[in-house]
Structure 1
Amino acid sequence: MAAPGKGAPRALPLRLLLPLFLLLPAASRAAASEEEEEVPAEWVLLHVVQGQVGAGNYSYLRLNHEGRIVLAMRSLRGDADLYVSDSTLHPSFDDYELQAVTCGRDVVAIPAHFQRPVGIGVYGHPSHRDSEFEMKVYFDRTVQRHPFGDSAYSDSAEASHAHAYDPEGASQEEESLLWTILISILKLLLEILF
């Protein structure tokens, strides 16, 4: 048997372990609360959709609910992107009105004036073999009133803002796409090398 200090593991005193055990539940509650998304009280949860989509493929959904709808999607595994259209039931990265293509939580607010049914496309990013996602569908009960009493103004203003050309946003999109491609290439090189 080895003498203490000569390679034998030392036991931690109980007084040092007790605070660690007391902190574990608080740490797990904090981690759980980070995963839960905070939503405004005016949003009513309508559906929770879970699915899986392969790399480079689409999974399509159809939305029939009227009013302003908010889609909040998070990738449980991989990287799923969100495309929305009121002109086609099969939106893609070439044909869409609204999109959310982050590597994290994707959120899209569908205006009330969009024609129903609304097509929703979930795209599996090619950087992952398959992507698993969870999408929460909320009805937004807030109605923004125009100062002169026209409640439809908020949706038309929102629509013109959504379709307006934003050069700053376009450059961010291009930069994001460039980073996505660069990261995919680096991952591929690392897989080949290691």
Structure 2
Amino acid sequence: MAAPWTGALLLLLASQAVSSAQASDEEEVPEGWVLLHVVQGQVGAGNYSYLRLNHEGKIVLRMRSLRGDADLYVSDSTLHPSFDEYELQSATCGADAVSIPAHFRRPVGIGVYGHPSHLESAFEMKVYYDATLEPHPFGETAYSDGTDGSRKHAYAPEDASQEEESVLWTILISILKLVLEILF
């Protein structure tokens, strides 16, 4: 009588093991991330393949080598980063990931380097926009791209009058300087 239940239990455990193995193959992505691009490419041993990133905000690059070993180099000062000149890098034998801060100047240069241990490396890179909220050091909430998540108030009329007053003072002082230069 116990044999049918044992068989059913084993079948259930086997199906859960297969489904969890399939789920682990898929990449887990945090809730606030938005997939922007999927880039696939190949790069020869000791060579670079260059990409350019124009998206603003905090960007996360996740790259996996499909064949061989591709490494990732990122820079906001050059469009052709290398292992000699870069700001961010990920050079592992497995999955590579880099988080590009929102303050990096755009365009950002991305270099994919083919490790010389393989004649050719194939890669797949996923580009995510990170829109998750980060805790502010003073208890306020701020988005990861640096903007304030909770706008306290819109542009107030008092601010406008102070701005106009400041502009008027600047013009008045400039005119006075000009008159003094002419007289003296």
TM-score interval for Structure 1 and Structure 2 normalised by the shorter chain: 0.5 to 0.7
Q: Is residue 140 of structure 1 aligned with residue 127 of structure 2?
A: no
Question: Once the two structures are superposed, what CA deviation does each residue of 1:97-118 show, in whole Å capped at 9, x if it has no partner?
Answer: 0000111111100000000000
Normalized per residue, the structure richer in strand is 2
Name the CA shift for 1:45/1:34 in 2 (closer, same or farther; >3 Å): same
- Give runs of aligned pairs for residues 91-106 of structure 1, distance below 5 A: 91-106=81-96
Kindly state the Cα deviation for residue 150 of structure 1 after the two structures are TM-superposed.
9.5
Q: Which runs of 5+ in 1 are unaligned?
A: 1-16, 156-194
Give the number of the structure whose alpha-carbon radius of gyration is greater.
2
Partner residue in 2 for 1:84? 74
Kindly state the Cα deviation for residue 33 of structure 1 after the two structures are TM-superposed.
1.8
Name the CA shift for 1:19/1:93 in 2 (closer, same or farther; >3 Å): same
- Give runs of aligned pairs for residues 174-193 of structure 1, distance below 5 A: none
Kindly state the Cα deviation for residue 24 of structure 1 after the two structures are TM-superposed.
6.1
Q: Percent identity over the alignment?
A: 69
Letter in 1 for 2:123: F
Partner residue in 2 for 1:34? 24
Q: Which runs of 5+ in 2 are unaligned?
A: 1-6, 147-184
Letter in 2 for 1:131: S
Q: Is residue 118 of structure 1 aligned with residue 108 of structure 2?
A: yes
C-alpha separation between the residues in 1 aligned to 2:105 and 2:93? 29
* Aligned partner of residue 138 in structure 1, secondary structure: strand
Kindly state the Cα deviation for residue 39 of structure 1 after the two structures are TM-superposed.
1.4
Letter in 1 for 2:34: V
Task: Give the structure-2-normalised TM-score.
Answer: 0.67
Q: Contact 1:146–1:154 at 8 Å: present in 2 too?
A: no
Name the CA shift for 1:152/1:25 in 2 (closer, same or farther; >3 Å): closer
Name the CA shift for 1:154/1:137 in 2 (closer, same or farther; >3 Å): closer
Q: Contact 1:83–1:96 at 8 Å: present in 2 too?
A: yes
Kindly state the Cα deviation for residue 19 of structure 1 after the two structures are TM-superposed.
8.7
Kindly state the Cα deviation for residue 36 of structure 1 after the two structures are TM-superposed.
1.3
Task: Give the structure-1-normalised TM-score.
Answer: 0.63
Q: Is residue 59 of structure 1 aligned with residue 49 of structure 2?
A: yes
Cα RMSD for the two superposed structures? 2.8
Q: Contact 1:50–1:134 at 8 Å: present in 2 too?
A: yes
